[in-house]
């Protein structure tokens, strides 16, 4: 079980920077303070972008659900009136 968690953690660490809108951090030393700040900013930008996409998608879906519910309620009310 620990091996699976380690593999997943390594995979996530490698994929998160790939999703980022990359600033060029290649000219810096790997263990320097500037490199760590640069990569953390890249990860932060990617996370914010993904959160915004999720937020927009959920708002759109909520709107669709409420519109569908309103239509169902109207149909039921019309059938009751008849």
pLDDT at 20: 45
Could you give the number of structural domains in the chain?
Answer: 1
Angle between the N-to-C axes of helices 33-81 and 2-19, in degrees from 0 to 180, rounded to the nearest 10:
90
Copy the structure tokens of residue 40: 């953390």
- Are 8 and 15 within 8 A, CB to CB? no
Copy the structure tokens of residue 18: 């790939």
Q: Which domain holds residue 62?
A: 2-81
pLDDT at 25: 79
pLDDT at 57: 87
Per-residue pLDDT tens digits for 36-53: 888 888 889 888 888 888
Copy the structure tokens of residue 32: 């320097």
The maximal CA–CA distance of the chain, rounded, in angstroms, is 77
Q: How far apart are alpha carbons 30 and 36 in whole angstroms?
A: 8
């Amino acid at each position: 079980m620990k091996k699976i968690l380690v593999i997943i953690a390594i995979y996530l660490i490698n994929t998160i920077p790939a999703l980022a809108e990359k600033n060029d951090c290649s000219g810096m030393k790997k263990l320097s303070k500037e490199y760590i700040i640069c990569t953390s900013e890249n990860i932060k930008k990617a996370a914010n972008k993904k959160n915004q996409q999720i937020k927009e998608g959920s708002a759109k879906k909520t709107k669709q659900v409420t519109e569908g519910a309103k239509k169902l309620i109207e149909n039921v009310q019309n059938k009751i009136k008849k």
